[in-house]
Every structure is written in structure tokens, then in C-alpha cells.
């Protein structure tokens, strides 16, 4: 883990904090934000074993989802960890303080199981996309059926967006989404999204939901 | 463009998948006792049918699991998919025997 004062989010170089503070159209059809420094932990194990799920639940308060492409936990990861289904024996835990080594307690609880817990926090950038036209933007580059009857709040999927591998998570029906993308693709994907959203009007936000005050960019010590 | 049914994720677009060749063609468990002819049969002699084909696919950009698909090589019609280690769906098995 780098020194805290040196750490930069994958999109820090775009100056999104400054752009968000500029006068912007209030009529934007799409709102974009980076969600910097959210703790991400890779989890592997046998989801069909009750004791595996129970061990995770003991530590996090929620069990890994067993239904494919669903998420357990609160809508907002500021309210606690949530778990995204990635495969029948693979999940992504999102939330918690990135500096608190969130995987430690979990690793301990699973130490006598055939399981793996890996901190992957800095591996992916997280982009929040919301607004009335958010679905239209995604539909331009994603083969997934995004219609609410097929993909609604609480669902997640690994898929491709503008040819980049992403994890897509729909947060609510407004609709708002969170997009997890590998760090080296973050600049490309942000540019693609902003270009694709241009026709609807884009507003850059400082917070992932305009509800809480998560700042993008550089962390001050 | 095909819509391929992943046993876990359901119908997904072909671009999320990679093709893995003929299914149920397993590597010899005890390689040492295999002679060249048997190795050649395993490595090179594929069924390559015109019609129903049981084949491996991997959901590469999705859940990253390997599974089997029953696909018609002429019409591209997909009759179903099933997990590795499972028997092919009944409809596929019958068609294959009669073919
Ligand atoms: Zn899948």
C-alpha cells in the first residue's frame, strides 16, 4: 500500500474535483462521478457450503449471494459492505475503509476453510453513472439486456462496455449504476462514457450519488 | 450474433464468450500408457459433424466458467447448455445417437 499522501485515484489526473465545482448545466441527462478509494476484496470459496456463507456473515453481517448476478448489502457502500456475485465460487466485497485492511478479519474467519480473501482495492476504478439517460449511454457499448425487466436495482453483471471488461452494478431505478473497470482502462472508459453521454448533456459530480460528500481525486493526509 | 445460454448467467451475447472445441473429448487420465495412435485420436480426430455438435464454451467476459453447449453447426440453433461434468440434455443425446 502506498504512502497515503501519495495515493491517487485512477482518474485523479482528469481534475474531476475542479470540473465538478465549475458551473454546469443543471439539465444534464447524465451525471458522472468517480468513486475513489473504495475497499475491494476478492472472495473465493464454496458458496454451496452453509458454513462458508455463515463465516462471511459473521464478519460482514451479510452472506455472499448465491443467486447469480445479484448483490447483497446496502445500496450505499458508505453504509456498510456489500457483496457482488462474480461466479458460483467467486465474489467481490465492496465497502469499508480501505486503510482498515478489511480482508484481515475475514481471512481469519475463513482460515480453516478452503477459501481465499485478497485485497484488490487499487486494482479497479469505480465510475458512478446516473441520470435519466444513463441507460441509453450504457446501451451504446454494452451487449447486456439493460431493460428493467432483465436488469434492475440489486443486479450486477460482468460484461463488456466499449470492449472493456467491466462489472456493472445497478444501484437504483433512477437509474444509477456503478461501473468497476480495471485501473489501466479507467481513463479510456471515462473518456468513452463522457463522449457517449455528450448528446444528453453531462454533469460531473463530486459524489457518487450527490447524496453524500465523497470527494474525488487526491486524498489529503 | 449468437445468444448463448450460460448455465449461471442466462442468455448473453456471443462477444462475451470464447469457443473451446468439441466437448466430452477428455485428456487421457494415464498419459504414459497411451501410444501414438491413441494420442492422435485424442488430439486431432474431431467429429466435425454437420448438424448437432456438443462443444465447450467459456463465459470469458462474464462469470469465467467453462460449460457445454449443444449447437447445430448448420443453423446455429442452440438446443441448450449444461455444466461441465453433467450429461448432455436428453434432446441432444437422442439426436446425436440417431445421426
Ligand atoms: Zn456466466
User: What ipTM did this prediction achieve?
Assistant: 0.86
The topology under which CATH files domain B3-27+42-98 is Folate-binding fold (3.30.2270)
Ligand 1 centroid – CA A68 distance (Å): 8
Q: How confident is the model over B53-80, as a mean pLDDT? A: 96
* Domain boundaries of chain A, sorted by first residue: 14-36+123-205, 38-119
- Tens of pLDDT, residues A90-114: 999 998 655 556 578 888 999 988 9
The topology under which CATH files domain A38-119 is Alpha-Beta Plaits (3.30.70)
Residues of B in contact with A86 (CB under 8 A): 63
- Using the beta-carbon criterion (under 8 Å), do B15 and A165 form an inter-chain contact? no
Give percent of chain A above pLDDT 70: 88
Give percent of chain A above pLDDT 90: 65
* Domain boundaries of chain B, sorted by first residue: 3-27+42-98
Instruction: Show the cell assigned to A119.
Output: 485485497
Q: How confident is the model over A196-221, as a mean pLDDT? A: 63
Query: Which burial class, exposed, middle or buried, applies to B96 when counting CB atoms under 10 A from its CB (0-12, 13-18, 19+)?
Result: middle
Q: How confident is the model over B69-86, as a mean pLDDT? A: 95
* Contact map slice: A 8-67 vs B, CB within 8 A: none
Contact with chain B for residue A80, Cβ under 8 A: no
Contact with chain B for residue A159, Cβ under 8 A: yes
Contact with chain B for residue A157, Cβ under 8 A: yes
Query: Which burial class, exposed, middle or buried, applies to A88 when counting CB atoms under 10 A from its CB (0-12, 13-18, 19+)?
Result: middle
State the greatest distance between any 2 C-alpha atoms of chain B, in Å, as a whole number.
Answer: 43
**Spatial distance between the Cα atoms of A221 and A116, rounded to a whole number of angstroms:** 32
In angstroms, the separation between the Cα of residue A69 and the nearest Cα of chain B is 7
**Spatial distance between the Cα atoms of B13 and B3, rounded to a whole number of angstroms:** 5
Q: Which residues of B touch A (CB under 8 A)?
A: 8-13, 15-16, 61-65
Number of H helices, E strands in chain B: 2, 6
- Name which of B9, B13, B61 is nearest A68 (Cβ-Cβ): B9
Domain A14-36+123-205, CATH homologous superfamily name and number: Probable tRNA modification gtpase trme; domain 1 (3.30.1360.120)
Ligand 1 centroid – CA B55 distance (Å): 16
Name every residue whose Cβ is closer than 8 Å to that of residue A138 and which is 6 or more positions away in sequence.
A129, A144, A146, A161, A168, A177
Residue list, CB under 5 A from ion ligand 1 = B 6, 8-9, 59, 62-63
- Tens of pLDDT, residues A4-45: 778 889 999 999 989 998 877 778 999 999 998 888 999 999
CB pairs under 8 A between A and B: 37
Shared fold status for A14-36+123-205 and A38-119: no
Amino acid at each position: 500500500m502506498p504512502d497515503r499522501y501519495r495515493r491517487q485515484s485512477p482518474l485523479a489526473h482528469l481534475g474531476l474535483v475542479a470540473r465538478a465545482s465549475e458551473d454546469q448545466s443543471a439539465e444534464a441527462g447524465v451525471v458522472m462521478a468517480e468513486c475513489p478509494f473504495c475497499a475491494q476484496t476478492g472472495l473465493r470459496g464454496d458458496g454451496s457450503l452453509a458454513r462458508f456463507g455463515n463465516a462471511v456473515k459473521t464478519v460482514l453481517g451479510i452472506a455472499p449471494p448465491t443467486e447469480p448476478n445479484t448483490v447483497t448489502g446496502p445500496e450505499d457502500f458508505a453504509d456498510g459492505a456489500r457483496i457482488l456475485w462474480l461466479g458460483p465460487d467467486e465474489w467481490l466485497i465492496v465497502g469499508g475503509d480501505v486503510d482498515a485492511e478489511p480482508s484481515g478479519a475475514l481471512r481469519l474467519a475463513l482460515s480453516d476453510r478452503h477459501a481465499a480473501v485478497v485485497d484488490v482495492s487499487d486494482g479497479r476504478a469505480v465510475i458512478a453513472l446516473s441520470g435519466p439517460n444513463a441507460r441509453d449511454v450504457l446501451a451504446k457499448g454494452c451487449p447486456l439486456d439493460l431493460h428493467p425487466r432483465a436488469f434492475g436495482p440489486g443486479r450486477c453483471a460482468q460484461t463488456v462496455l466499449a470492449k472493456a471488461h467491466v462489472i456493472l452494478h445497478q444501484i437504483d431505478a433512477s437509474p444509477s449504476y456503478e461501473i468497476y473497470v480495471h485501473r489501466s482502462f479507467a481513463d479510456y472508459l471515462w473518456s468513452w462514457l463522457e463522449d457517449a453521454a455528450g448528446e444528453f448533456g453531462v454533469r460531473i459530480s463530486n459524489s457518487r450519488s450527490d447524496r453524500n460528500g465523497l470527494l474525488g481525486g487526491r486524498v489529503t493526509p | 450474433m449468437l445468444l448463448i445460454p450460460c448455465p449461471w448467467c442466462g442468455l448473453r451475447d456471443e462477444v462475451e464468450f470464447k469457443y473451446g472445441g468439441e466437448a466430452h473429448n477428455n485428456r487421457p487420465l494415464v498419459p504414459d500408457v497411451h501410444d501414438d495412435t491413441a494420442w492422435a485420436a485424442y488430439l486431432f480426430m474431431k467429429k466435425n459433424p454437420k448438424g448437432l455438435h456438443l462443444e465447450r464454451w467459456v463465459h470469458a467476459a462474464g462469470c469465467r466458467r467453462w460449460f457445454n453447449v449443444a449447437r447445430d453447426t448448420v443453423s446455429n440453433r442452440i438446443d441448450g447448455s449444461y455444466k461441465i461434468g453433467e450429461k448432455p440434455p436428453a434432446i441432444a443425446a437422442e439426436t446425436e445417437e440417431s445421426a
